Amino acid sequence: MEEEKKIEDHSEENSFIRIKKFKFIMLIFLLIFSTAGITLVALSFGDEKAVSVAIPERKEFSKLYEAYDMLDEKYFEKVDHKKLIDGAIAGMVKALDDPYSDYMTKEENDKFQESISASFQGIGAEIQEMNGDIVVVSPIKGSPAEKAGIKPNDKIITVDDKNIQGMSANEAVLLIRGEKGTKVTLSIQRPENSETIKMTITRDEIPINTVYAEMLDNGVAKIQITTFSKHTYDDLATAMKEMEDKGMKSLIIDLRRNPGGLLDQAIQIANLFVPEGKNIVQVEYRDGTIEKTAAQAGKKVDIPTVVLIDKGSASASEILAGAVSESAGIQLVGDKSFGKGTVQTANNFKDGSNVKYTMAKWLTPNGNWIHKKGIEPDVKVSLPEYANVSYIDPDKKYKVSSASNDVKSAEEMLKVLGYKPGKIDGFYDSDTEKAVKKFQKAEKLKVNGILTGETTVKLMNKLSEHIQKNDPQVKKAIEELTKNQ
């Protein structure tokens, strides 16, 4: 920011600074600014000797200064100096080619701070820039994004028909977020499908409730941690106490679709499971220095525990998973995790803007770097294929003779729910119509055999409920816990 001030000072190039000292000695400082560097010369009046103070030249900046001056003086319209500086900093950070380092203007930084506070308004999806694409890391539990069927690794191609490829994650967030009750239309591309899916999602208040606890059968408690924000450790402690009061005998920690968050929260939670003195995480800096964080004394969880992970488990959730696996011998069940093995820090500027950059890489307790590789579970269990069925736009209407991918998705959903839609081919025939009518009757909807509006929303919700009720990853975790009882 000091360089920014010096550039602005150059507009008063021959200004003199008058300083009164003792015998009214006057020192005049002439700031000589050129594309080759900056030199500060002190001229003396009186019987004192002149003093020269040199600021080291930064020749690598000469091209930057030259470009700034050229645009400032010769661009056909008056330029916004702040925008030029913001753009230069953003460009520098982008040149790192690191999706986890970025520059945020004041507006973008304010939005980011909202996301780790009590709540914000939007669709509720964690995104990142990856190779020029905006990719979903994970939707937030219970959010409009999750209800709409957005999944980890979905690419967002357009927002309200505006192409966002090449944008930073912060720029995309500003387009996607909005006031509760307003709608946003996203064009989504899935890794396994070349065709895009259009989703119109109604924005809502996104509460940052990060811990969800429930008691299953036989004293098995399942606690889901959806992200790591300021109060996650405290919320987990409260949930653990509630489950203990209900007779908890064993525990499932669910880190699926957890995109990460605050490192200190993950470390505090890991400390509940990792024995005192054993490593939780290692942080390696560019000079090769390694800083180890070991578990401290305190309350420990001493009941059988299993941790669930999947491809949406990233960053801080991977730190927790790696810690409990390698230092506490806790089994990991599910799918391979996302693979984010770097640590970021942020620097705030006086104007409210912010630079976030990668300052180190983190290693598991045994020294493994999982970046771009992920953590393999001890017991691999995937969700069924129908868990990846594409979203259906409720605003569209499908009836006999309609043909589309949406129809095919509806047929797959109806089949899973036991309504026999006939051949799964994307063609809305009489068998599809009969299945839709049976579904509408069972759900007390208007029976007309047309797939649209409330019927479409109800069908997608029922599939989601079915997946949760018949979750093979949870079932496997319970099976593993039962072995240890």
CA distances in angstroms from 26 to 9, 15, 18, 43, 69, listed in the order given: 21, 14, 6, 9, 32
The length of the chain, given as a count of residues: 485
Q: Which helix (H) or strand (E) holds 303?
A: none
Q: Which of 115, 138, 187, 315 is catalytic?
A: 315
Burial of 52 (0-12, 13-18, 19+ CB in 10 A): exposed
Tokens of 214: 């429930």
Amino acid identity, residue 14?
N
Amino acid identity, residue 174?
L
Q: Which of 108, 129, 284, 326 is catalytic?
A: 326
Helix 263-270 vs helix 232-245: angle between axes, to the nearest 10 degrees? 30
Q: Which of 147, 340, 408, 438 is catalytic?
A: 340
Location of structure tokens 């009164």: 20
The C-alpha atoms of residue 140 and residue 342 are separated, in whole angstroms, by 22
CA distances in angstroms from 144 to 148, 184, 387, 455, listed in the order given: 6, 11, 17, 18
Tokens of 228: 């790591």
Active site (annotated) includes residue 396: no
Active site (annotated) includes residue 326: yes
3-state secondary structure of 70: helix
Question: How many other CB atoms sit within 10 Å of the CB of residue 368?
Answer: 14
Residues labelled catalytic: 315, 326, 340
